[in-house]
Structure 1
Amino acid sequence: METSPDLLPDDVAALRAELIAARAKGAQIEAELAVAKAKASEDIAVIARQKLRIEKLERQLYGPKAERRARLIDQMEFQLEELEMAATEDELAAEMAVAATVNVAGFSRSRPVKKPFPEHLPRERVVAPGPVSCQCCGGDRLRKLGEDITETLEVIPRQWKVIQTVREKFTCRDCEKISQAPAPFHAIPRGWAGPNLLAMILFDKFGQHLPLNRQVERFEREGVPLSLSTVADSIGACCAVLDPILKRIAAHTFAAERLHGDDTTVPVLAAGKTDIARSWVYVRDDRPFGGTAAPSAMFYYSRDRAGEHPQAHLAGY
């Protein structure tokens, strides 16, 4: 409903009062809408969270009937992540809108109880200086009553360093021969990377499924330029170095009296499409049958599901 100009007061003070009241009413409506939006976002996130929980319980109860369900759970977790972020953003927006009013109740999301931080993490104690006088009467006769501790989880950014192994040379004054300490051991030939760096690259590639090109881009952003071919060469060298361990695992796995095997699909990026490859796993676990040998698992990879692959894997079993 529009207000006619003839009905507006001529007094400036009255106009100012009506403008202040209109702004307050607008802020109240805006705050109410923000709170309602935050509540709706929270409800959507709760529904998504419960659906994900039901899906996980059904998978645990009835077993993985298909790999499609596993991919569905991954997708639901991704959607829940987006909804949780949106709900938190709407909650903060509602808090800022409510702060500008006095008649609108705020809204806070229900969150699970925060678990204490692991005990093995080191603690850095930062003591804030206490008052030297009473904040009430100004007296200086103070004694410590106790303390409140607030724990905040922090991380130290990754640091790069170059280790210089210095091998001093000495010459004999009697025979003029040169003596020097042997060269340090390296996990791979040409040893440009230390064992910790190699382990990190291997885990990011095979454990976190992070391609080498993305790792190289991240290294460069951190001020350490490495060529893709150099990093790829280190992966091949590590595979060759770890091959004896792989053979020992295979020998231990296939020496079992009973063997459990299955295959699972693996999406593989191909030219213009995605192929479906196979990951074959053979598990040795005699603990349910009273065995004392350590459990183990052996993985193989193939681009198809042909029967020749398990026949080759189990040829000597």
Structure 2
Amino acid sequence: MIDDLHYQCDLLSVHADPAVRAAAAEIVTLGIQLSDAFVKAEATNSTLSAKIKALAAEIKRLKTQLKNAQRAQYGKKSEKSDTEKDSSSVGFDDGDPETDDSEEKPDNGSEPSEPEEVPNSGSGKNKKSYPPHLRREQREFEPTSDQLCDCGCGHREIGEEVRERLAYREAEIFIVEEIYYKKVCRNCGQFAQHPVPERPFDGSGFDTSIFIAVLIKKYADFLPLNRITEIFGRKGVHVHRSTLSRLMKKAKGALKWIYEALLADIKSSSKLHMDETHLGQMFPGLGKLKTCRVWALCRDDRRWKGNKPPAVAFRYTQTREGVHAEDMLSGFDGVLQVDAYGGYNRLTSTTRIGEPVVLAYCWAHVRRKFWEELQSNKGKTAGKLIDMIGKLYGIEKDLKGQAHIVRQATRLKESAPIVDQIFACLKDYAMKGAMKTKMGEAVSYALKLEDGLRVFLQDGRVEIDNNNVENTIRPIVPLRKASLFTGSTDGGETWAIIASLVGTCRLNDIDPHAYITWVFEKFTQKVPRSQYDKLLPWHFAEEVEINIRQ
């Protein structure tokens, strides 16, 4: 239309009438201006359209982020597919230690058991028995005089009714006063006095039992020291928080070498799990908390009936650099199950001291990303992938407790084809789908880890996921809530050392109070440091079992 107008104006530009020629020239000028304005309007419209699309994508991203945050705090934690939920429990705990799910019981490798009923107080076939190790306090009651007849014939016992109830007596704080009498012979003057027994913490005004009580309350029950001082205060004993902190520092010094023996024993294994999480530390003058890290190194071979007991060791560091993982794993050259954190890649280097480590990645992390996509956008591909991963977990359920050779053979036969289907689906999506979306990120994440995700197929000792170690760092959640932060690097290291022993006790169903008491008793027997590996928690369990049999 504009071109036709210009053509007509060109014809009029040679018209005999000057007014017509001037009008034609003005029309051409206005047409050019109109054309320029139209081009500018189109450019502005394109810019605004691009901005609208970008804002819409940002709104969608923020809505998804908000929905995921709300689901993490208020929603269900399970990421299982419908087929998994319909079947019986697989026995895998898919919890994320970063979320507040501390009440969920970690999987300890044994079959799920029915919750233990509280025994009733009556008698009969429904009566349940209490644990046999509990002390029994018997109270006997005879019939009162007004219940007995007065015929004078006497009474004979025909039976009894026994009623039981669980009781509690609050811990007692008391003073131990030791008196060592000194004697001398009247004849020869020989002096005699009972020798003062060795104690782990000589020179302290606190009995070993106080050390143990504070240690268990802080590192097993997650009570901060200020609350423990309040508990003591209710008994009329006023102990400053800094005093209890010094006690724990002494306990750390005594237990450090057992921790080193524990770490060495763990690294003697051929397959381990590793993970890390955050813990805040207060630095004077910084004005805010610094995010430090807690690394967990775990051995748990119960699913394939390995011959080594489960154990966990923690390490506290200032940063998340991979060099800390490399240092903690010095001397280990087996299979390491981890998440996708890039800091672990240095362990696979051929320049590493010792053999390179084989990294096995976690299918639970892969499933979690597709589950988040499914919850946000209801994508069919995400649902399909979750169902296929669910089939892998179904196979693992049947393999629980089987020898590693059986697990390997079954996985190659049944799981490998499913894994091939999963990666074929992922690669197909990568060729056709939008890779800059949340779904695309999940697909890229899984494809990047393909080699490590296939390791469990070739080795029956390897688990399908890294949940074993994630369960061991669950206690850090109540620790962060109760204590908020650690006051110093030394405090973080103290936590790591003592929590390693307490966590290993938990994995082996050992009472940490009884174990720490046993360890301190062994210290008084002057056990050489070279034999501290004999003081690890499972040796305590063996000794207790021997004593019970005797």
Contact 1:165 1:184 in 2 (8 A): no
Matched, 1:292 2:322: no
SS at match of 1:163: coil
Matched, 1:226 2:239: yes
CA distance in 2, matches of 1:146, 1:173: 62
1:128 aligned residue (116, 119, 141): 141
1:157 aligned residue (163, 166, 170): 170
CA distance in 1, matches of 2:142, 2:191: 61
Q: What residue in structure 2 maps to residue 215 of structure 1? A: 228
* Per-residue CA distance 1:87-129 (angstroms, 9 max, x = gap): xxxxxxxxxxxxxxxxxxxxxxxx9875543333233333333
CA distance in 2, matches of 1:74, 1:273: 30
Matches for 1:115-194 after TM superposition, within 5 Å: 116-130=129-143, 132=145, 144-170=157-183, 180-194=193-207
Q: What residue in structure 2 maps to residue 312 of structure 1? A: 327
CA distance in 1, matches of 2:135, 2:119: 22
Q: What residue in structure 2 maps to residue 67 of structure 1? A: 97
Q: Which stretch shows the higher mean deviation, 291-300 or 60-69? A: 60-69
2:277 aligned residue (260, 264, 274): 264
Alignment CA distance shift 1:252-1:113 (3 Å)? closer
Q: What residue in structure 1 maps to residue 251 of structure 2? A: 238
Alignment CA distance shift 1:63-1:265 (3 Å)? farther
Contact 2:293 2:319 in 1 (8 A): yes
Deviation at 1:171, TM superposition (A): 5.4
| Matching residue's letter, 1:251 | A
Q: Which has the larger radius of gyration?
A: 2
SS at match of 1:239: helix
2:262 aligned residue (243, 246, 249): 249
| Matching residue's letter, 1:308 | V
Deviation at 1:192, TM superposition (A): 1.8
Contact 2:79 2:94 in 1 (8 A): no
| Matching residue's letter, 2:297 | Y
SS at match of 1:300: strand
| Matching residue's letter, 1:199 | I
Contact 1:55 1:73 in 2 (8 A): no
CA distance in 2, matches of 1:134, 1:180: 59
* Per-residue CA distance 1:60-101 (angstroms, 9 max, x = gap): 7664253355x14649xxxxxxxxxxxxxxxxxxxxxxxxxx
Contact 2:299 2:312 in 1 (8 A): yes
| Matching residue's letter, 2:225 | L
* Per-residue CA distance 1:224-245 (angstroms, 9 max, x = gap): 2223332222111111111121
CA distance in 1, matches of 2:323, 2:78: 39
Q: Which runs of 5+ in 2 are unaligned?
A: 1-74, 105-116, 121-127, 333-550
Q: Which stretch shows the higher mean deviation, 155-164 or 57-66? A: 57-66
CA distance in 1, matches of 2:218, 2:102: 23
Alignment CA distance shift 1:183-1:307 (3 Å)? same
Contact 2:276 2:296 in 1 (8 A): yes
* Per-residue CA distance 1:118-175 (angstroms, 9 max, x = gap): 333233333333255679x986766555433332222223222222222333557899
Q: What residue in structure 2 maps to residue 280 of structure 1? A: 295
| Matching residue's letter, 1:301 | Y
Contact 2:281 2:292 in 1 (8 A): yes
CA distance in 1, matches of 2:234, 2:146: 50
Q: Which runs of 5+ in 1 are unaligned?
A: 1-50, 76-110
Alignment CA distance shift 1:315-1:173 (3 Å)? same
Alignment CA distance shift 1:276-1:138 (3 Å)? farther
Contact 1:52 1:73 in 2 (8 A): no
State the TM-score, normalized to the length of structure 1.
Answer: 0.57
SS at match of 1:67: coil
| Matching residue's letter, 2:165 | T
After superposition, the CA RMSD in angstroms is 4.2
SS at match of 1:250: helix
Alignment CA distance shift 1:189-1:127 (3 Å)? closer
Alignment CA distance shift 1:302-1:194 (3 Å)? same
Q: Which stretch shows the higher mean deviation, 197-206 or 227-236? A: 227-236
SS at match of 1:196: helix
Q: What residue in structure 2 maps to residue 80 of structure 1? A: none
SS at match of 1:283: strand
SS at match of 1:263: strand
* Per-residue CA distance 1:179-217 (angstroms, 9 max, x = gap): 544433221141322222211111111111111222112
Q: What residue in structure 2 maps to residue 302 of structure 1? A: 317
SS at match of 2:294: strand
CA distance in 2, matches of 1:173, 1:272: 71
The count of aligned residue pairs is 230
Alignment CA distance shift 1:181-1:145 (3 Å)? closer
CA distance in 1, matches of 2:146, 2:194: 65
Alignment CA distance shift 1:208-1:134 (3 Å)? closer
Alignment CA distance shift 1:224-1:138 (3 Å)? same
| Matching residue's letter, 1:155 | Y
| Matching residue's letter, 2:293 | R
* Per-residue CA distance 1:260-292 (angstroms, 9 max, x = gap): 212234466788876654321112345666753
Matches for 1:44-83 after TM superposition, within 5 Å: 63-64=93-94, 66-69=96-99, 71-72=100-101, 74=103
Q: What residue in structure 2 maps to residue 87 of structure 1? A: none
SS at match of 2:271: coil
State the TM-score, normalized to the length of structure 2.
Answer: 0.35
SS at match of 1:259: strand
Contact 1:263 1:280 in 2 (8 A): yes
Alignment CA distance shift 1:134-1:281 (3 Å)? closer
